[in-house]
Amino acid sequence: MVAKPLLEVKGLKKYFDVKGGVFGRKVGEVKAVDDVSFTVMEGEILGIVGESGCGKSTTGKSILRLIEPTDGEVTFDGQNIASLKSEQLRKIRRDMQIIFQDPYASLNPRHTVEKIISEPLLIHGMKHAAERKKRVRELLEIVGLNAYHASRYPHQFSGGQRQRIGIARALANHPKLIICDEPVSALDVSVQSQILNLMEELRDAFQLTYIFIAHDLSVVKHISDRVAVMYLGRMAELADKDVLYADPKHPYTKALLSAVPIPDPDEKKEAIILEGDIPSPANPPTGCAFHTRCPVAMSVCKEVRPTFKMVDQDHYVACHLYE
Amino acid sequence: MKIDEKSNYSEQLQPNPAKIGQQMDLNEVEAFSPWKDTWRQLRKNRFATTGAMVILFFILLGLLAPFITAYPYAEQNLVERLKPPSAEHWLGTDHLGRDIFTRIAYGARISLQVGFFAVTGALVFGTLLGVIAGYFGRWIDMIISRIFDILLAFPSILLAISVVAILGASLQNALIAIAIINIPIFGRLVRSRVISLREEEYIMAARAQGMKNGRILFHHILPNSIAPIIVQSTLGFGTAILEAAALGFLGLGAQPPTPEWGKMLAESRDFIQLAPWTLIAPGISIMLVVLGFNLIGDGLRDALDPKMKN
């Protein structure tokens, strides 16, 4: 696929202050996202995987500046998002949307579906009510609901249907990029596949680009073109889906992939069981963040943080084994 | 997937590929709003209906006062003073020979007005300050919250007395005083609600779509914080009427000959042994109105609480 980059993230950081003491002074910081860089090509689906708490969602929300990033550059369609004024940012938001994890929390319970989907149309300049109404009906059909659902309230829908409403809302203004923040992890397995198929169809129909955040490796494998693995706020590995799943380089990726169950009881495989717990991002280990649990850690891993660099064709790894 | 083309075909001929695997509910379900649901719950609640009936009774009493009784509320008749209840004077007469029922009926106007205006005033300013403090946070929140704390640190009646002392004793000033002491109650309620709503995902979704702060505040946050505000308003109605009566009792509210219930209590307390009906009528009226509002308030709280839904 010859494509130009749609989104470039360079050195993205998000530190949350930890306040303590009588006067609420800053006593430390949680490095939720620590120097993350990657590029998303136009029309591709980039999956981001990692354990819970590794900063996947924070990365997604920082790109949209729903959470103000501490540092870093986010270039979307030639514009640096991180430096935009609030009014410019408001305007560019029609081109970059987000689908949230929890379909029960992401829809306003006091609004009808009609209002939920038509509001983004209204604020981005579709003034005529009839026009909005038509577009809402159209969007509902696109995401597999019916036009008459428009007059209902979110609590009258199932989880999967609500997620479809969330998708319709994100699609309303023909966005270029949609960040999917674990869009199926709150759903039933049978509903998950429906939503995933819908999202793939929509990508093809509307030339969308997705950043697909998930903790389910099989889901990411199913939908993504390229996959990034995050650990403790940092990028561990980034490669083409097939390459990553067939030939993982980073010891963390290897461990992660070995944990995926194989639906065949006779097939034996060697699972790499990691020792210990994930360290606190408030006090990350020195050097490589993974060295405390890494089965092949060397002495250099404790001292020097490995750089995230290309070791193979389009295969990026942050590990001293490949220096 | 073009919709315009598809509309030429019926749904059966060309099924929408996005709908495969979904179980469709073919019969249309009536769309019912959260408000209708609340209304249904409220009507089922017997206490709340009783409360509403009591309040309705007093509203009608106040509105229809000139048609129900033949006496003007301020007309003195010293011959007929301190008469017990009879056919002519349903609730008896007071120490100046004024018909107590007439004064209760006209007094209902005053009490309900005080309740309404004091609550409205407190509601408007309290909500505004609470929303600003809660949504913008940081130093703005700091300043507004400390003002609330200071107002709450005073015993409310003492604060009302000092406000009336500064402005002068009249019903209007008593009303202002009651509104002021109720501002922090609404303010803190709204502030805490806004702070918890601000973290909701659908508020973040609203920002992600590029909405302005004003729109998020008035279309998303405020409508979702309205439930506790309604409950507090109803309960506040009762408190405000009680506070107005207390100020009237202390001679700081309505001035004679205004038939204010608290004032009526104060005037008749010297005759408590001689003519107890002069006290009982306004006392019971105050109690009933406050009880009525509290019953509605409790009913509303249950009806609006999503956790109480079955």
Give the model confidence (pLDDT) of B115-134 as tens digits.
Answer: 899 999 999 999 999 999 99
* B136 at interface of A, judged by CB pairs closer than 8 A: no
How many A-B residue pairs are in contact by the CB < 8 A criterion? 98
Q: Which of B199, B200, B201, B305 to mutate to test the interface with A (most CBs of A within 10 A)?
A: B201
A277 or A122: which carries more pLDDT confidence? A122
Chain B positions touching A66 (Cβ under 8 A) are 204, 207-208
> How large is the average pLDDT for residues B134-160?
89
Return the pLDDT at B3.
Answer: 45
Q: Which of A84-98, A105-119, B42-56, B244-258 has the lowest mean pLDDT?
A: B244-258
Return the pLDDT at B54.
Answer: 93
> How large is the average pLDDT for residues B39-44?
82
CB–CB contact A105 B17 (8 Å): no
Contact A120, A91 (CB under 8 A): no
pLDDT for B214-269, tens place per residue? 888 888 888 888 888 888 888 888 888 888 888 888 888 888 788 888 888 888 88
pLDDT above 70: residue A203: yes
pLDDT above 60: residue B20: no
pLDDT above 80: residue A178: yes
Q: Which of A107-116, A271-280, B50-59 has the lowest mean pLDDT?
A: A271-280
A220 or B70: which carries more pLDDT confidence? A220
Return the pLDDT at B11.
Answer: 43
> How large is the average pLDDT for residues A43-47?
90
B296 or B20: which carries more pLDDT confidence? B296
Chain B positions touching A151 (Cβ under 8 A) are 31
Nearest chain B CA: its distance from A5 CA (Å): 22
- Give the rounded percent of residues in chain A with a pLDDT score beyond 70: 98
Contact A240, A76 (CB under 8 A): no
CATH fold, domain A5-95+175-322, is: Rossmann fold (3.40.50)
> How large is the average pLDDT for residues A260-265?
76
Return the pLDDT at B18.
Answer: 62
* A174 at interface of B, judged by CB pairs closer than 8 A: no
Return the pLDDT at B145.
Answer: 93
Tell me the pLDDT band of B310, cut-offs 50, 70 and 90. very low
Chain mean pLDDT for chain B: 83
Chain B positions touching A190 (Cβ under 8 A) are 21
* A146 at interface of B, judged by CB pairs closer than 8 A: yes
Return the pLDDT at B25.
Answer: 52
> How large is the average pLDDT for residues A72-84?
87
Q: What is the pTM of this model?
A: 0.77
Q: Which residue of B has its CA nearest to A101?
A: B201
pLDDT above 70: residue B307: no
- Print the SS3 string covering chain A: CCCCEEEEEEEEEEEEEEEECCCCEEEEEEEEEEEEEEEEECCCEEEEECCCCCCHHHHHHHHCCCCCCCEEEEEECCEEHHHCCHHHHHHHCCCEEEECCCCCCCCCCCCCHHHHHHHHHHHCCCCCHHHHHHHHHHHHHHCCCCHHHHHCCHHHCCHHHHHHHHHHHHHCCCCCEEEEECCCCCCCHHHHHHHHHHHHHHHHHHCCEEEEEECCHHHHHHHCCEEEEEECCEEEEEEEHHHHHHCCCCHHHHHHHHCCCCCCCCCCCCCCCCCCCCCCCCCCCCCCCCCCCCCCCCHHHHHCCCCCEEEECCEEECCHHHC
Contact B48, B42 (CB under 8 A): yes
Dihedral sign for Cα A210, A216, A222, A227, please: positive
Return the pLDDT at B192.
Answer: 92
pLDDT above 90: residue B288: yes
Which of A 223-252 lie inside 8 A of B, CB atoms?
none
Chain mean pLDDT for chain A: 86
Tell me the pLDDT band of B19, cut-offs 50, 70 and 90. low
Q: Starting at the earlier edge strand, list the strands of the sheet with A315-317.
A: A96-99, A177-181, A209-214, A45-49, A226-231, A234-240, A315-317, A309-312
pLDDT above 50: residue B5: no
pLDDT above 60: residue B23: no
Contacts of B113 (CB under 8 A, 6+ apart): none
Whether a cis peptide bond, with omega within 30° of 0, leads into A248 is no
Radius of gyration of chain A (CA): 21
> How large is the average pLDDT for residues A222-249?
89
Q: Which of A226-230, B181-185, B190-194, B209-213 has the lowest mean pLDDT?
A: B209-213
Nearest chain B CA: its distance from A234 CA (Å): 24
Which of A 180-219 lie inside 8 A of B, CB atoms?
190, 194, 198, 201, 205
Chain B positions touching A101 (Cβ under 8 A) are 201
Q: Which residue spans of chain A are classified as CATH 3.40.50.300?
A: 5-95+175-322
> How large is the average pLDDT for residues A68-73?
89
pLDDT above 80: residue B274: yes
Q: Which residue of B has its CA nearest to A136?
A: B3
Taking Cα atoms as reference points, which of B177, B175, B137 lies closest to residue B160? B177
Return the pLDDT at B148.
Answer: 93
Among candidates A64, A124, A205 on the partner chain, residue whose Cβ is nearest the Cβ of B1: A205
B65 or B5: which carries more pLDDT confidence? B65
Two tokens, residue A55: 């900063």
CB–CB contact B208 A144 (8 Å): no
- Print the SS3 string covering chain B: CCHHHHCCCCCCCCCCHHHCCCCCCCCCCCCCCHHHHHHHHHHHCHHHHHHHHHHHHHHHHHHCHHHHCCCCCCCCCHHHCCCCCCCCCCCCECCCCCEHHHHHHHHHHHHHHHHHHHHHHHHHHHHHHHHHHHHHCHHHHHHHHHHHHHHHHCCHHHHHHHHHHHHCCCHHHHHHHHHHHHHHHHHHHHHHHHHHHHCCHHHHHHHHCCCCHHHHHHHHHHHHHHHHHHHHHHHHHHHHHHHHHHHHHCCCCCCCCCCCHHHHHHHHHHHCCCCCHHHHHHHHHHHHHHHHHHHHHHHHHHHHCHHHCC
> How large is the average pLDDT for residues A19-34?
80
Tell me the pLDDT band of B12, cut-offs 50, 70 and 90. very low
> How large is the average pLDDT for residues A230-251?
89
Taking Cα atoms as reference points, which of B130, B120, B172, B173 lies closest to residue B151? B130
Taking Cα atoms as reference points, which of B189, B95, B119 lies closest to residue B148? B189
Which of B 18-37 lie inside 8 A of A, CB atoms?
18-22, 24, 28-29, 31-34
Instruction: Tell me the C-alpha distance between B243 and B241, whole Å.
Output: 5
CB–CB contact A66 B204 (8 Å): yes
Q: Which residue of B has its CA nearest to A135?
A: B3
Two tokens, residue A4: 């130009």
Q: Which residue of B has its CA nearest to A190?
A: B21
CB–CB contact B18 A143 (8 Å): yes
Nearest chain B CA: its distance from A190 CA (Å): 9
Instruction: Tell me the C-alpha distance between A306 and A249, whole Å.
Output: 14
